[in-house]
Chain A
């Protein structure tokens, strides 16, 4: 039997219980045996000798919107079916330099747009705990790979919940760092002022170990901050006695499934029993966050995805008669339904005559939401609530209604609107669905250390 966490595998490798190639082969076998029914991976890689470092010999997976030099990266889209990366994303580069071994690339909603991984052009990923249900999304492949132990850890990207929500659906840990903490260089841009790369892991400690490697300023991403990167494991074992924990009353309103509310409230009780001070708080503009998100994000998408023009890379329609047709036909055939919807909403929100009413208004509301959080963090150390309003739903159940899917992100999008760090940890299973419930903890800017501390302490007590 092989262990399945970074910490334990590192110990096993150091004490020579097994070698890096043995543990890699073990995971390859698991993938070939189990991924046929789950479909977490889009493609897998061979063993290479690992570098010496913090993650030496640890097998991991990367979401397919991150570049790995010399390999195909599709972002779950037909338009990039044959696209080969010409360089490493900074996150992949830092993992490789730390000795991590990449098992393969994982499935996602097309260009990371979705909450169920049903929007992938390469078919849906299934939840390993119940194959009739979605694994969450958009990092559904990464979450399913970790939950089924087909990878020790995985990287995902989170624009409105795409790390935390699938982690919640699959019963694992998912961390979205502060915007500017981890370089986005080589991550295919969806909404640049929201996107952030982070780990999906089996334990909070593993999340801290991965963040240690991928965090930090990068000359290729001018939005990364010139701040020292602490050892994120340092505070994990310290008591959270007297910590002030804010519980926003808006997170427990209409739309929250009773089975989720029950588990999350039980988790909050545990925090209280550990000596944390629970305090009800308010985020007065919470109600507007999803609307602000679905204007600001599509606006950035319409700009970012303009690069898929049928000329520089990706699919190009051979029947185009002129330059304009090269654009319109290649994009019309190459993009799936959700990118089309969002590009068009964004084009509309940014168009002459509508810019003030939509884009500018959304950016003002975004400022209000950021201020709500800033006010809250004057009073509390962390904020706690549900990660998602429901547990994993059935594949196909909400596929015909884009708005119903958008609502699944209602508790995670405010965190991206404000650029804060957030984590989802498992807190039991729902009494109705018997599927995992995620508890979300939101931290102050660049305060991942204490965020992880609270998450680790609660994880140990649950």
Chain B
């Protein structure tokens, strides 16, 4: 079973604030999932490289030419920036990143 300290650590990494009523349930559920996946340790993987991708494509890059599928215009800019919960003119508003203590 995960401890409260472990749960807090994972929640912090995940940037998710947990409500008190979620905690016990999550501790139980996450523990049972982690117990289940521990099964992986039974597999002998001593001579195999980890899989990094499926299709075998190497250096999948586009041609170095100007791409024009999404011509930037006022309409597209507005569509994108209007999605930000807080925005002003054509800027997205964010709380201070470097704040005074």
Binding partners A and B: yes
A156 to B70, CA, bound (A): 25
A48 to B94, CA, bound (A): 39
State the majority secondary structure of interface residues on A: helix
Contact partner of A364 (CB less than 8 A), chosen from B17, B45, B83, B86, is: B45
Assess the B16–A335 pair: CB atoms within 8 A: yes
- On chain A, the residues within 8 Å of B19 by CB distance are 332
Contact partner of A332 (CB less than 8 A), chosen from B16, B33, B80, is: B16
Task: Indicate with 1 or 0, residue by residue over A222-242, a CB within 8 angstroms of chain B CB atoms.
Answer: 110100000000000000000
- On chain A, the residues within 8 Å of B85 by CB distance are 310-311, 313-316
Listed stretches A132-140, A253-261, A274-282, A318-326; interface member = A318-326
**Chain B CB within 8 A of A331 CB:** yes
Count CB-based A-B contacts (< 8 Å): 175
Assess the A361–B40 pair: CB atoms within 8 A: yes
Q: A323-B94, A328-B17 are in contact. Are A86 and B37 (CB under 8 A)?
A: no
Assess the B33–A311 pair: CB atoms within 8 A: no
Of the four ranges (under 10, 10 to 19, 20 to 34, 35 or more), the interface on chain B belongs to: 35 or more
Q: A180-B57, A288-B40, A295-B37 are in contact. Are A367 and B10 (CB under 8 A)?
A: no
**Chain B CB within 8 A of A344 CB:** yes
- On chain A, the residues within 8 Å of B92 by CB distance are 311-312
Q: Which of A315, A341, A406 has the most CB of B within 10 A?
A: A341
Assess the B51–A364 pair: CB atoms within 8 A: yes
Task: Indicate with 1 or 0, residue by residue over B80-98, a CB within 8 angstroms of chain A CB atoms.
Answer: 1011111000001011110
Assess the A347–B94 pair: CB atoms within 8 A: no
Q: A328-B15, A332-B17 are in contact. Are A291 and B36 (CB under 8 A)?
A: yes
**Chain B CB within 8 A of A362 CB:** yes
- On chain B, the residues within 8 Å of A302 by CB distance are 14
- Within A364-386, the residues touching B (CB, 8 Å) are 364-368, 370-371
Contact partner of B39 (CB less than 8 A), chosen from A288, A341, A343, is: A288
- On chain B, the residues within 8 Å of A331 by CB distance are 14-17
Q: Which of A180, A315, A326, A365 has the most CB of B within 10 A?
A: A365
**Chain B CB within 8 A of A285 CB:** yes
Assess the A343–B36 pair: CB atoms within 8 A: no
Q: Which of A341, A348, A362 has the most CB of B within 10 A?
A: A348
Assess the A222–B60 pair: CB atoms within 8 A: yes
A83 to B84, CA, bound (A): 9
- Give the distance to chain B from A189, nearest Cβ to Cβ, in Å: 15
- Give the distance to chain A from B90, nearest Cβ to Cβ, in Å: 14
Assess the B83–A193 pair: CB atoms within 8 A: no
- On chain A, the residues within 8 Å of B57 by CB distance are 180, 222-223, 225
Assess the B83–A83 pair: CB atoms within 8 A: yes
- Within B12-61, the residues touching A (CB, 8 Å) are 13-19, 22, 26, 29-30, 32-34, 36-43, 45, 48-55, 57, 60-61
Q: Which of B70, B80, B85, B97 has the most CB of A within 10 A?
A: B85
Of the four ranges (under 10, 10 to 19, 20 to 34, 35 or more), the interface on chain A belongs to: 35 or more
Task: Indicate with 1 or 0, residue by residue over A333-358, a CB within 8 angstroms of chain B CB atoms.
Answer: 10101001101111110010000011
Contact partner of A340 (CB less than 8 A), chosen from B16, B48, B80, is: B16
Assess the B39–A179 pair: CB atoms within 8 A: no
- On chain A, the residues within 8 Å of B97 by CB distance are 323
A302 to B15, CA, bound (A): 10
- Within A155-181, the residues touching B (CB, 8 Å) are 178-180
- On chain A, the residues within 8 Å of B29 by CB distance are 341, 402
**Chain B CB within 8 A of A209 CB:** no
A306 to B38, CA, bound (A): 25
**Chain B CB within 8 A of A360 CB:** yes
A290 to B40, CA, bound (A): 9
Assess the A294–B36 pair: CB atoms within 8 A: yes
Nearest residue, chain B, Cβ from A369: B51
- On chain A, the residues within 8 Å of B15 by CB distance are 306, 309, 324, 327-328, 331
**Chain B CB within 8 A of A87 CB:** yes
Assess the A288–B11 pair: CB atoms within 8 A: no
Q: 6 shortest A-B CB distances, which residue pairs?
A: A419-B54, A332-B17, A316-B85, A363-B50, A364-B45, A328-B17
Question: Given known contacts A341-B30, A345-B34, A403-B33, what 13 new A-B pairs fall within 8 Å (CB)?
Answer: A291-B37, A294-B33, A313-B84, A323-B95, A331-B15, A341-B33, A343-B14, A348-B30, A364-B45, A364-B51, A367-B50, A370-B51, A403-B32
A-B contact pairs, 25 of them (CB 8 A): A84-B79, A179-B55, A193-B53, A219-B69, A223-B55, A223-B60, A310-B85, A311-B86, A311-B94, A313-B85, A314-B85, A322-B95, A322-B96, A323-B94, A323-B96, A327-B15, A332-B16, A332-B19, A345-B33, A346-B14, A351-B9, A357-B41, A360-B50, A363-B52, A366-B51
